[in-house]
Amino acid sequence: MDNLLRKSALIWLGLGPLCLIILFPFAVMISTAVKPRAEVLAFPPHWLPSEIRLQNFADMWQAARFGPALANSLVVSIAATVLCLLVAIPAAYAMARMQFRGQRLFRQFLLVTQMLSPIVLVLGIFRLMSKMGLVDQLPALMLAYIAFNLAFAVWMLQAYFQTIPRELEEAATLDGATSLQRLRLVFLPLAAPAIGITSVFIFIYCWNEFVLAMTLLRSNEKYTLTMQIFSLVGGRYQVEWDHVMGATLVASVPVAIVFAMLQRYLVSGLTVGAVK
């Protein structure tokens, strides 16, 4: 028991500085969000506010048009995540269980697509959306996010599908189940951890993405949170940092909620395909 306590103490002693480094920006963000504006740029800096000013959040909500931007981000992120999974799950099932010509080449193609950054393709994406008449439309952003996350989702899910014993599928086949029924009744319940972690990664990508949103969106009414928060800083002579930090803090809440809801899938989902 003493050895275990000593080992735990040494581990936390080593992790302590790393935790402080990671948590320091969040502490500054929270402190700045609730400070009176006069203390934000004071020198020497006031690490702790003289008063907790929650009115900053209400002022930020009105001044930054935070509500519409929050709704746009939720719609785009949730819709892109759901639609991407609807396409990726059957594709991953086909890769894991069916044999077809060019399968190995297709796997390599999926990996190669992950090496491309959105900024490399942003001009082509803009021209494509312009020809389709989707510039300054939220569906354009959804399609772009689905395209950039689809290969990742297929690769994650097919790796997990391969770990599911074939005997379960064969038993379902003997019972007369079709391919779609085997996918729905056998694979999906067993693949819940993989689907959970994949949806988390897709949602976070859509929630935090900035380059495509800046390229495809034009009007303030269509701005997502990343664009709306950027508008509080970019092109201004004076920046209200209490509003910026308050908006950043509130924007972090949905991601924290998603992690809390799907945390039981994270550990098992991160090891997809590791053990067969």
Mean pLDDT of the residues in the chain = 81
How far, in Å, CA of 63 to CA of 232, rounded?
A: 9
Q: 276 pLDDT exceeds 60?
A: no
CA atoms within 13 A on the CB side of 149: 29
> Which domain, by its residues, includes 142?
56-269
Q: Is residue 267 over pLDDT 70?
A: no
Q: Do 225 and 135 meet the contact criterion of CB atoms below 8 Å apart? A: no
Residue 31 reports pLDDT greater than 90: no
Residue 75's nearest CA partner among 220, 229, 225 is: 225
Work out the percent of the chain whose per-residue pLDDT is above 90: 11
Q: What percent of the chain has pLDDT over 70?
A: 92
Given a cut of 70, whether residue 172 has pLDDT beyond it is: yes
pLDDT confidence bin for 235, thresholds 50/70/90? low
Give the pLDDT confidence of 59-112 residue by residue, as tens digits.
Answer: 888 777 888 888 999 999 999 999 999 999 888 888 887 777 877 787 778 777
- Tell me the CA distances in angstroms from 200 to 149, 203, 251, 258, one per residue in order: 12, 5, 16, 7
Residue 63: CB atoms within 10 Å: 13
Task: Give 274's pLDDT tier (boundaries 50, 70, 90).
Answer: very low
Query: Distance between the two ends of the chain, CA-based, in angstroms?
Result: 35
Residue 24 lies in a domain: no
Domain assignment of residue 276, yes or no? no
Give the per-residue pLDDT at 236. 61
pLDDT tens sequence across 174-231? 777 777 777 777 778 888 888 888 888 899 899 988 889 988 888 888 899 888 888 8
Q: Is residue 38 part of a domain?
A: no
- 137 against 6, higher pLDDT: 137
How many domains is the chain built from?
Answer: 1
Residue 255 lies in a domain: yes
CA dihedral 87, 91, 92, 96 (to 10 degrees): 160
10 domain-assigned: no
Residue 115 has pLDDT above 90, yes or no: no
Element (H, E) at 168: helix 166-174
Q: Supply the pLDDT for residue 273.
A: 46
What tokens appear for 139 in the block? 């569906």
pTM listed for this prediction: 0.81
> What is the reported pLDDT for 263?
67
Average pLDDT of the residues in 228-243: 75
Is residue 233 helix, strand or coil? coil
> Predicted confidence band at 1 (pLDDT cuts at 50, 70, 90)?
low
Which tokens sit at 213?
Answer: 């949103």
Please give the single-letter amino acid code of residue 104: R
Domain CATH code at residue 66: 1.10.3720.10
Do the domain assignments include residue 47? Answer: no
Does residue 4 fall inside a structural domain?
no
CA distance 273 to 126: 36
Give the pLDDT of residue 234: 67
Contact present, 150 and 84 (Cβ < 8 Å): yes
Considering only 39-43, 65-69, 86-90, 137-141, which range has the smallest mean pLDDT? 39-43
Cα–Cα distance for residue pair 165/68, rounded to 1 Å = 47
Averaged over 261-266, what is the pLDDT?
A: 66
156 CB neighbour count, 10 Å cutoff:
22
**Which of 138-142, 172-176, 192-196, 238-242 has the highest average model confidence (pLDDT)?**
138-142
Cα–Cα distance, 152 to 157 (Å, whole number): 9
Identify whether 148 is part of a domain: yes
- Give the angle subtended at the CA of 30 by the CAs of 267 and 77, to the nearest 5°: 50
